[in-house]
Amino acid sequence: MKIAPTLLQKYHLDNDKEVKCILHVGDFGMGFTTLKGGITQLKRLNDRLKKYNTYLYVIRGNHDDPQYYNDEVFKEETGINGFSNVKLLKDLLLRLMCGQPYL
């Protein structure tokens, strides 16, 4: 399974100054590939989202590997301190996304 493959397809998005947010709930695909493969996909997705001033917040599904959703473990395993436009959210974390609270 690939990480949210439809998000990597070339859809027409407005390239304006407006900030856009996507909330993805459940089974994103983290842990279904090698760590290196997952990082490569996340980097590609992050670069695409940056281009369109869009942020993606991902809530873990029951088939996703929870270690990727823990900032400390992710940084320790990958050496990467997260991505600018892709946020893998910890379980039960209250966040503001585009000005709206989500748990």
The answer to whether the CB of 68 falls within 8 A of the CB of 88 is: yes
How many separate domains does the chain show? Answer: 1
Express each pLDDT in 44-94 by its tens digit: 999 999 988 899 989 899 999 888 888 787 788 778 888 899 988 888 877
User: Which tokens in the block code for residue 22?
Assistant: 């996507």
Q: How confident is the model at residue 97 (pLDDT cuts 50, 70, 90)?
A: low
**In-domain check, residue 4:** no
User: Which tokens in the block code for residue 91?
Assistant: 């379980």
Residue 10 has pLDDT above 60, yes or no: no
**In-domain check, residue 3:** no
Name the residue with tokens 């490569």: 40
**In-domain check, residue 101:** no
Distance CA 10, CA 71 (A): 29
Distance CA 49, CA 8 (A): 9
Q: At what angle do helices 35-51 and 71-78 cross, to 10 degrees?
A: 110
- Domain around 42: 19-92
**In-domain check, residue 62:** yes
**In-domain check, residue 8:** no
**In-domain check, residue 12:** no
**In-domain check, residue 66:** yes
